[in-house]
């Protein structure tokens, strides 16, 4: 008899949390595809970047690029190209091979596309002197074509995380987000704190849901408050309580009445 495949979605994996800026940050642990997405999101967070796109995903010809970015410029934006390498070690020959993979398609593919910056994203630290010398050599080689050559290894990536909150939250996870930006606060933080002060164990499971709401668009929370001011407070509270139950956050109701459970929500939307 054939075994039935599980329908449970696989949880994303996150790299080990760095304790200090000088750590060897293991972004390579994201894996090739997820690191590629993370690099694109990090690139998108840089100043004057209008938009980014994966380039030739799902097995298409990529011509030495994993994603492209459009940099603001008058009268038209110019192109930046990103190539991603989720490798545990990356040395001189690896840098040269990655650069050559782009350069070999310069005349036939990229020259007419106004590419002015090539960034090599590497998921580990680049530490050898030989690798640094190769970066210098490739910088000069690309400059002769009118292209800026950059290598963002794990240390450079880490330094840029404070300006890329969406990339951190989406691809590195909540522990990384709180390490860099602090614990999120918002209109429902008081609800979590009230539960924690009361030693209600449901606060542990509630934290995930509150965090999600605190990171929601301001307009969503504003709409809930607007509805409450229009006299829809009971309905707003009911919707939130229903969502809490669906998240498995209200499994400790045996020691509290529904009236007690709704008090923090009433205060939030009064």
Model confidence, pTM: 0.68
**Which string of DSSP letters, residue by residue, matches 59-126?**
T---TT-SEEEEEP-SSS-EEEEEEEE--S---HHHHHHHHHHHHTTIIIIIGGGTEEEEEEEESS--
Spell out the domain ranges in the chain: 27-180, 189-268
Q: What percent of the chain clears pLDDT 70, i.e. is strictly above it?
A: 71
Structure confidence by residue, pLDDT tens digits, 133-158? 999 999 999 999 999 999 999 999 99
pLDDT category at 209 given cuts 50, 70, 90 is: low
- Cα(203)–Cα(269) distance, rounded to whole angstroms? 20
Q: What angle do CA 204, 185, 217 make, to 5 degrees?
A: 105
How high is the pLDDT of residue 269? 54
pLDDT category at 236 given cuts 50, 70, 90 is: confident
76: left (phi over 0), alpha (psi -120 to 50) or beta: beta
pLDDT top residue among 163 and 238? 163
Tell me the two tokens of residue 1. Answer: 């008899």
**Distance in Å from the first CA to the final CA of the chain:** 58
Structure confidence by residue, pLDDT tens digits, 109-137? 999 999 999 999 999 999 999 999 999 99
Average pLDDT, integer, range 58-65:
90
Per-residue pLDDT for 205 more than 60? no
pLDDT category at 59 given cuts 50, 70, 90 is: confident
Q: What is the pairing mode between strands 49-54 and 67-71?
A: antiparallel
DSSP classification of residue 146? T
CATH number of this structure's domain 27-180, picked from the four choices 3.20.20.70, 3.40.50.700, 3.30.43.10, 3.40.1350.10: 3.40.1350.10
Find how far residue 163's CA is from the centre of its chain: 11
Average pLDDT, integer, range 67-80:
96
């Amino acid at each position: 008899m054939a075994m039935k495949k599980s329908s449970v979605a696989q949880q994303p994996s996150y790299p080990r949390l760095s304790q200090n800026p000088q750590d060897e940050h293991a972004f390579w642990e994201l894996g090739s595809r997820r690191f590629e997405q993370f690099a694109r999101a990090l690139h998108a967070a840089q100043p004057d970047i209008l938009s980014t796109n994966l380039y030739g995903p799902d097995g298409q010809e990529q011509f030495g690029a994993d994603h492209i970015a459009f940099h603001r410029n008058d009268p038209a934006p110019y192109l930046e190209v990103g190539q991603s390498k989720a490798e545990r070690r990356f040395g001189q020959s690896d840098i040269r091979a990655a650069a050559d993979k782009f350069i070999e398609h310069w005349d036939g593919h990229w020259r007419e596309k106004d590419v002015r910056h090539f960034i090599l994203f590497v998921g580990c630290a680049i530490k050898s002197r030989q690798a640094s010398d190769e970066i210098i050599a490739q910088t000069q080689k690309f400059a002769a074509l009118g292209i800026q050559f950059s290598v963002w290894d794990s240390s450079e990536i880490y330094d840029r995380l404070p300006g890329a909150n969406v990339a951190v939250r989406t691809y590195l996870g909540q522990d990384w987000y709180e390490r860099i930006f602090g614990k999120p606060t918002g209109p429902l933080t008081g609800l979590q704190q009230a539960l924690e002060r009361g030693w209600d164990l449901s606060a542990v499971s509630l934290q995930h849901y509150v965090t999600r709401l605190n990171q929601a668009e301001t307009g969503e929370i504003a709409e809930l408050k607007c509805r409450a001011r229009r006299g829809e407070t009971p309905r707003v509270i009911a919707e939130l309580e229903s969502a809490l139950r669906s998240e498995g956050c209200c499994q400790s109701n045996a020691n509290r009445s529904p009236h007690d459970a709704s008090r923090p929500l009433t205060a939030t939307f009064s």
